[in-house]
Amino acid sequence: MQAVKAGDTDWLQGKTWSLQYYIDEEHHEVLKAAHQLYFSENYINPFLFKSILKMEKEVVAMVANMLHGPASAVGTMTSGGTESILLAMYAYREWARKHRPSIKVPEIVAPSTLHPAFDKAAHYFGLVLRKAKVQSTQAADVEAMGKLITKNTILLLASAPSFAHGVLDPIPAIGNLAEKHGLFFHVDACVGGFMLPWVEKLGKQLPAWDFRVPAVTSMSGDLHKFGFGAKGASVVLYRNAQVFEHQIFVNTEYSGGIFATATMLGSRPGGAVAAAWAGLQHLGQEGYLKNAKAMLEATDLLRAGLVALPDIEIIGKPCMNILAFSTKNNKPDIYVIADFMEEKGWVVDRQQLPPSIHLTVFPYNIPVIGQYLADLKSAIAWAKANPSAMTEGNAAMYGLMARIPLRGMVKDNVRKVFLDAYGKGMGNEAPIAEQPSREHKWLGRLNRFLAFTFKR
């Protein structure tokens, strides 16, 4: 395992700009020790392990307090942001089935920049997710959302902020829209829930984005992101039990007895709850403020460096330590620049709609920001000098992906590629150590498929 892991991305070098939420080795060891203490405990029955239940309730209470939830706020920990979102959407669907039975297929209205976990929830639970265009700043267009509301709409959604661009949706205005139509309102703060409170405490003025907006009925926030807990840990919160009660699943017909769960999982790892609780206690408000200050200062430094490059423009108005940038009119091609940066050893998160590069600034990125900006400057110069590069390598693949109209065909092919990756190689025909290189072949296959489709 150590030999195979040696080929993974070494994110501690600071060249990775997403996914790895890490402060320092001391905090890391605290999380591991807490997780290890409950390594074997199965939290399927919260009444069997009362210490875990106590910690979960305290975590939920701390998060509710941080997000200005009322005394009536209630919720649970989950395995991650996706489960938090799935549970909220399921609960709203169940509420509609009981209280609005005339609605056969509940509808939800959201900005197009919403996280795809909501698409997954709609797909799983038979909901219709109507997406409104966004403003040029990538923030939600409230008027456009209002035009999508119908008699079957039960819920509005917004991001605080969006993961792709770090842009905060106009939560108060969407709240007014929800109140006008008598709708529920969920705010996805999975990435910002454990950062924006400290951004505000450090003096940055933000419009209300949490339970301070009276129309907000539920929120999701990830402990394993800027809560700096161990994977996977998130929280789903409701203003009161009105909708939360519909999240609880109960089966009284099972031969083994009454079966009830408050989350989607049956067996739940107690270690994730313990590590989240320990992480919150270990950092405390002082620790979160200190780390938020360092990351925001580094983000300001990075933003200033990007703005100083005449070919670069930052997308929207990011509200925290997330930036997305592109080239003006995409000239030179941003995906060519991404290829060059990868050649320099950077892990690049390419985005589409619009084509851009995503950066989330973590503590381990701080020492290498100067090097990143220097390499980016070189990448821009190289891309200008090599305009034909946009038809080669990953630049060609991502360029086609951003422009291709037949996205249904792309979806089908990606599904086949994943099916192939997971469905094959499970036998003994090849050593385990050889598996990773085979799995990455899907990029080449997708590239060839896109090129063929585009020519057709």
39-59 pLDDT, tens digit per residue, is 988 888 778 888 999 999 999
Q: How far apart (Å, rounded) are the C-alpha atoms in residues 135 and 411?
A: 26
pLDDT-derived band of residue 432, with 50, 70 and 90 as boundaries?
very low
Q: Is the previous residue joined to 332 through a cis bond, with omega within 30 degrees of 0?
A: yes
With beta carbons less than 8 A apart as the criterion, state whether 334 and 315 touch.
no
Q: Of the given ranges (186-200, 256-270, 311-325, 384-398), which has the lowest mean pLDDT?
A: 384-398
pLDDT-derived band of residue 176, with 50, 70 and 90 as boundaries?
very high
Per-residue pLDDT of 179-230, as tens digits, reads 999 999 999 999 999 999 999 999 999 999 999 999 999 999 999 999 999 8
pLDDT above 90 coverage of the chain, percent? 69
Task: State residue 421's pLDDT score.
Answer: 63
Least Cα distance to 395 among 442, 443, 325, 363 occurs for 443
What pTM was estimated for this model as a whole? 0.86
Q: In CATH, what is the architecture of 21-281? A: 3-Layer(aba) Sandwich (3.40)
| Amino acid, res. 421 | A
Most distant pair of Cα atoms in the chain: their distance: 71
Mean of pLDDT over the chain: 88
Per-residue pLDDT of 240-293, as tens digits, reads 999 999 999 988 888 888 888 889 998 889 999 999 999 999 999 999 999 999
Q: How far apart (Å, rounded) are the C-alpha atoms in residues 393 and 414?
A: 18
Per-residue pLDDT of 346-367, as tens digits, reads 989 999 889 999 999 999 999 9
Token duo for residue 67: 């997000």
Task: State residue 318's pLDDT score.
Answer: 95
Rg over alpha carbons for the chain, rounded to the nearest Å, is: 23
Distances (CA, A) of 298 to 57, 167, 365: 34, 18, 8
Contacts from 255-261 at CB under 8 Å and sequence distance 24+?
Answer: 261/44
